[in-house]
Structure 1
Amino acid sequence: MVIYLIGKMALSFYYKPYVNIPPNLKVSVIIPSYNENPEAILTTVQSIVVQEYPIHEIFFVDDGSSDDRGYHAVLEWKRKWENNFPSTSKKIKFVVHKLEKNKGKRHAQIWAFERATGDVFFTVDSDGYVHPDALTELLRPFADPEVMAVTGHINARNKDYSWFTKLLDMRYDNAFRVERAAQSVTGNILVCSGPISCYRREIVIDNLKNYGSQVFLGQEVQSGDDRCLTNYAILKGKTVYQENARCETDVPDSLKKFLKQQIRWNKSFYRESIIAFKIGFQKPILLIWVVFEMLLWILFGFIILVALLFKISSFGWVMLLYYLIALSFSAYARNIHFVVKRPHVFLIAPIYGMIHLVLLFPIRLYALMTIKEVKWGTR
């Protein structure tokens, strides 16, 4: 496992973002929303309409929110935008729609997918800020006809809220600069993140029926939309990371919100890893990524179990001590760029790993036991 982690970090050094001229493609932006804060929604919408790359159309779909302030805020903003900027608004088709009842994020997206006419679908979460040049950067890799999906780089917009959000921002940075960068070198990103990803039209449309009716253990699936779409893209070609396409999103600012997020992500991990494992027999490099990532998760739980089972003896504590030392070295190595960027955060890098050590194992067990629940999971 240590060799795998070192290899992943080494491979990330070979990553280079695409710098070619982006191809001429029509882009449909898809923004699903559910009980989101109106201010956060408007920040997202405003960041989309000012993109440097011309946008063909925007679909904002409210998934039957019980709190419809966000939906009405977008309608009002759209009206003012069309009145104040008629020349710009005429160039962009802007559709605002609310589903009659809450059906789940995928169904909100599907409503838009079925009506979108773009060559590329740009999926965006309703609580983020997309940098003005992000779409331009996301489209550069599509000059390669083998590239089916592209994801950008995400940081925490609320990173200065507390020490916890600072740690999460560092974790996000590492997840992209190291993990996705390394995977991108091989053309096999395992997850194109929901807040900022683009997919070729055919990847989505050809799998739309299955996307909306995916069943796992007899239950219709709603979470894990980004990983599901990524799996569709992997089947057809490359999935890559574009570092210069940047987005900021609000990360959980409390332990309760963090736990809810991790439960949802873990459920998705179990389900979509099984699917990716099957795909891996067609793509050996993908299989390597999936197997080793799954082994890391298993090893993580094994260390905790050993420490608990042998708590009276020295063996369990020695194993735990070795693990904590390795965790600390790994945390510092993966976040070395924070020495200059945010040195005070770099010093506490191992704390995030220790939080996972204490919380992640029971969370994964709980996620596994409740995997049949199909809610959004964060509202």
Structure 2
Amino acid sequence: MRSALTASRRTIRLLAVAGISVAALAGWTFRHIASTIATWQGHGGRFATIYTLAFVLLVWQVCLYSLERPKKVTPRQQRQLDELRVVIPVPAYNEDPGYLKACLESILGQTRLPQWVYVVDDGSSVDYTDVRTWFVEAAAGAGVRASWERTANGGKRHAQGHVVRATSWYADVYVTIDSDANLAPDAIDELLKPLAAGDVQSVAGIVLAGNNRGPGRPRVPQGTRVGGRVKAAVGWWASQLLCRATDLWFVTGQLVDRSAASTMGAVLVNSGVLAAYRADLVVDNLDGYLNETFFGRRVEFSDDSMLTIYALQRGRAVQQPSAFAFTAMPENLSHHLRQFTRWMRGAWIRSWWRFKYLPLKHYAYWGHLIGWIQMALSTVIFSLLFVVWPVASQSFDPTLLLIPVIVGYGQSLRYLSFRRSDERLRSQLLTFALAPVAVLWAFFVLRVVRWYAIATCLRTGWGTRTAGVEVALGES
């Protein structure tokens, strides 16, 4: 059995990050207020008003995410949570057997065990015989009810729906996880705590990249020519860079955007890697969940954000920043871009449903609207500063990139607010140093991919793992 991965918050560092953020915001506030006054007087910069509005939204977001704290419970509440019957559906489709076994090991190693773990092999081309045999025996030894079924390939929602229909008579809470998830030992215990509040309908965990330092160094066969060795080395270093930058970008997004929304009980997207839902919420909305269409096309992805909409219609959706899970992120550019394209197609489709179904009295509606205002402002600024004017003037001022880089560095400080058992601080600092790479990649590349995803949103297939395993478990 592999050693358990753990993570914890750095409280002292959080205070330091807050102090730095406040100091930075004070400086930026002065600049933008001065620019706005100058604009009103008729001789300010052309973008002072737009920048000021964007800055006000940024300040609001910083204030919100700085207020997020892990939910604590009383002994009485803990006893009530201990009585909840937790069912974990584990859909598996062409997952690497090593990752799937590590996932199930982490579930059975929880300080708060679930009552029932239900694996659905969704028509994989991978042989899981050994994993299944081990799992059934290990679950029995841990006192956890275990089920494993193989179905024809119908997608992740179909696999989850199969579990819900089989367990709806029993479950109080469904904890959704991905088949490559590796839960910290106290993940479920921490994840359930916000459910002590009766109006909380769903809880998101924090997802870290288990392969955040990329794959292990490749073994080059003896006799390989210099060109082959160089190619292997370059490919390996490129994978390291991609994994670190992706982890930084992905984790920062959770600790900035989702943390800010969580403070208002308005998380818009839970992560399928680790989230908890009240069982009646899932059961009551199962038909809609399994049969979602967009312009007549069946939607297979964006399952987590659909469940979050259901939660927001009934109450609050929050994040528990002390519940950690590790997942496998893409290790090559093709997989990374296909995954992001799928996410952005889902985000565009989901935006329609949020504006249509979220109640106007819920902050989630207005938080979603603010997000689109931020995107519109950034798109206008990006288009004019980096496309229209450089073409018209045939020149480009690289200092314009300082604003997104500085803001990105400030937000990425949140990445240092936790520690993980498999990584030293110096390695985490190395990843943090890549903030400009992550920011500029998102600024120039992922922005274009998002536009492409919106333009091709009617392609509602999953897009990854269709040809088999894409990320294999190895020693990094």
Taking structure 2 as the reference length, the TM-score comes to: 0.74
**Structure 2 counterparts to residues 1-379 of structure 1, below 5 A:** 1-20=54-73, 21-22=77-78, 23=81, 24-65=83-124, 67-69=125-127, 71-81=128-138, 86-88=140-142, 91-100=143-152, 102-116=153-167, 117-161=170-214, 162-306=240-384, 307-314=386-393, 317=396, 321-322=399-400, 324-338=401-415, 341=425, 342-379=428-465
Change (3 A) 1:338 1:181: closer
1:281 shift after superposition? 4.1
Contact 2:92/2:119 (CA < 8 Å) preserved in 1?
yes
Distance, in Å, in 2 between the alignment partners of 1:54 and 1:249 is: 20
Contact 1:104/1:375 (CA < 8 Å) preserved in 2?
no
Quick check: 286-295 or 331-340, which moved more?
331-340
The CA deviation string for residues 45-75 of structure 1, in whole angstroms up to 9 with x for no partner, is 111112111311111111112x232x32332
Unaligned runs of 5+ in 1: none
What percentage of aligned pairs have identical amino acids?
Answer: 28
Quick check: 121-130 or 173-182, which moved more?
173-182
Contact 2:252/2:414 (CA < 8 Å) preserved in 1?
no
User: Which secondary structure does the structure 2 equivalent of 1:114 belong to?
Assistant: helix
1:309 shift after superposition? 3.0
Contact 1:9/1:179 (CA < 8 Å) preserved in 2?
no
- One-letter code aligned to 2:388: L
- One-letter code aligned to 2:158: H
1:80 shift after superposition? 4.0
1:104 shift after superposition? 1.2
Contact 2:312/2:358 (CA < 8 Å) preserved in 1?
no
Give the aligned CA root-mean-square deviation in angstroms.
Answer: 2.0
User: Which secondary structure does the structure 2 equivalent of 1:18 belong to?
Assistant: coil
1:157 shift after superposition? 0.6
Distance, in Å, in 2 between the alignment partners of 1:229 and 1:131 is: 23
1:339 shift after superposition? 6.2
Unaligned runs of 5+ in 2: 1-53, 215-239, 418-424, 466-476
- One-letter code aligned to 1:112: V
Quick check: 9-18 or 170-179, which moved more?
170-179
User: Which secondary structure does the structure 2 equivalent of 1:313 belong to?
Assistant: helix
User: Which secondary structure does the structure 2 equivalent of 1:139 belong to?
Assistant: helix
Moved over 6 A (4+): none
1:321 shift after superposition? 4.8
Contact 1:158/1:251 (CA < 8 Å) preserved in 2?
yes
Aligned length: 369
Distance, in Å, in 2 between the alignment partners of 1:316 and 1:185 is: 43
Distance, in Å, in 2 between the alignment partners of 1:245 and 1:296 is: 29
- One-letter code aligned to 1:295: I
The CA deviation string for residues 174-211 of structure 1, in whole angstroms up to 9 with x for no partner, is 12222222111100111111000000011100100000
- One-letter code aligned to 1:190: L
Does 1 or 2 have the higher relative contact order (CA < 8 Å, sep 6+)?
2
User: Which secondary structure does the structure 1 equivalent of 2:391 belong to?
Assistant: coil
- One-letter code aligned to 1:310: W
User: Which secondary structure does the structure 2 equivalent of 1:15 belong to?
Assistant: coil
- One-letter code aligned to 2:165: E
Contact 1:152/1:242 (CA < 8 Å) preserved in 2?
yes
The CA deviation string for residues 69-103 of structure 1, in whole angstroms up to 9 with x for no partner, is 2x323322124426xxx553xx3221111112x21
Distance, in Å, in 2 between the alignment partners of 1:136 and 1:34 is: 27
User: Which secondary structure does the structure 2 equivalent of 1:346 belong to?
Assistant: helix
Contact 1:147/1:239 (CA < 8 Å) preserved in 2?
yes
Contact 1:42/1:73 (CA < 8 Å) preserved in 2?
no
Change (3 A) 1:225 1:98: same
Distance, in Å, in 2 between the alignment partners of 1:187 and 1:63 is: 34
1:360 shift after superposition? 2.1
User: Which secondary structure does the structure 1 equivalent of 2:413 belong to?
Assistant: coil
Distance, in Å, in 2 between the alignment partners of 1:33 and 1:316 is: 51
The CA deviation string for residues 272-327 of structure 1, in whole angstroms up to 9 with x for no partner, is 11111223443341122111212333344434433323333349845x853x2221
Quick check: 48-57 or 277-286, which moved more?
277-286
1:375 shift after superposition? 1.9
The CA deviation string for residues 194-234 of structure 1, in whole angstroms up to 9 with x for no partner, is 00000001110010000011110110111000000000000
User: Which secondary structure does the structure 2 equivalent of 1:19 belong to?
Assistant: coil
User: Which secondary structure does the structure 1 equivalent of 2:87 belong to?
Assistant: strand
Aligned to 2:468: none
1:128 shift after superposition? 1.5
The CA deviation string for residues 143-165 of structure 1, in whole angstroms up to 9 with x for no partner, is 10000000111111111121221
Contact 2:256/2:414 (CA < 8 Å) preserved in 1?
no
Quick check: 159-168 or 369-378, which moved more?
369-378
Change (3 A) 1:281 1:25: closer
1:264 shift after superposition? 0.4
